[in-house]
Amino acid sequence: MEVIKDFDLLVPDKRIAKLAGREFDVSLISTRMALEQIKFRDKALIMSGADAFNKAVEIVAEICKPKVSNKFLGLFKKKVTAKWLISHASYAQLLEFIDFVLAPLYKEAEPIEKSEKKK
């Protein structure tokens, strides 16, 4: 018996974040960035407030970087950095932006936590 499961069909919903006149496709968060967020979340409580905030902004900036398959075209895209995000958003905007970008990670984590409590 042959079983084929096409994981390419598991495509997340399209999620576009707009900030300072720019659009960011944050539909797909790489496993690398998800793991980075998990490590950060584990350490956030022992970090100072400013350090924790800056690290969260760095993670979000990395997620917002355009996914460019052509390296040449990537040279012409404006870079998204933590500094750019902090300079182009109010504090309230940035908090909401961070929540929106990272929401899928927390949405996926909730069922796992509930199932662990049942054990």
Whether the predicted pLDDT of 7 surpasses 50? yes
Interior angle at CA 97, CA 17 and CA 43, nearest 5? 130
Q: What percent of the chain has pLDDT over 90?
A: 51
Query: Which tens digits make up the pLDDT trace of 22-65?
Result: 999 999 899 999 999 999 988 888 888 889 999 999 999 999 98
| In contact, 17 and 97? CB cutoff 8 Å | yes
pLDDT band (50, 70, 90) for residue 116: very low
Stretch 104-108: mean pLDDT: 79
Read off the tokens for 107: 């949405």
The mean pLDDT value of the chain amounts to 83
